[in-house]
Amino acid sequence: MSAPKFKATMTIPKNGMEEWNDIMQNPPKTLPQGINEDNYIVASCAKFSDGVTIFGGVAVGAKSQDFNYPLFMVFDKNMHQVGGWPIDTSDWDSWSARSIQFAVDPNDEDGNYLLDIVEATS
């Protein structure tokens, strides 16, 4: 895997890894008003130097499921959503990634973007 060309940091709340894992694995019985299935319940964002923006967090699962799921949306510099799943979280069973390398261009096998995920210190 080649070194990524672009790097950005997404900061999640202090203790976010543990709290977001809990939200994924133990969904609240009652959702906040206005939050529905497939909407983010918690999220953060990051912007790369070329303008690509990541919005990622935990989304509400279907009512028939007993879990929520991680979801990342990728937007180009003009804030158009990049189709497909440049960041595939389909096999995540917890929120534990510290960095994710991905490609916006489906022809780029290595991925030239690196998203570091850090917890706030306070």
CA distance 98 to 95: 9
Query: Which pLDDT tens digits describe the chain residue by residue (122 residues)?
Result: 578 999 999 999 999 999 999 988 888 777 788 888 888 999 999 999 999 999 999 999 887 677 889 999 999 999 999 987 889 898 888 888 899 999 888 787 777 999 999 999 98
Identify whether the C-beta of residue 115 lies closer than 8 Å to the C-beta of residue 100. Answer: yes
Cα end-to-end distance, the chain, whole Å? 34
Counting every residue written for the chain, the total comes to 122
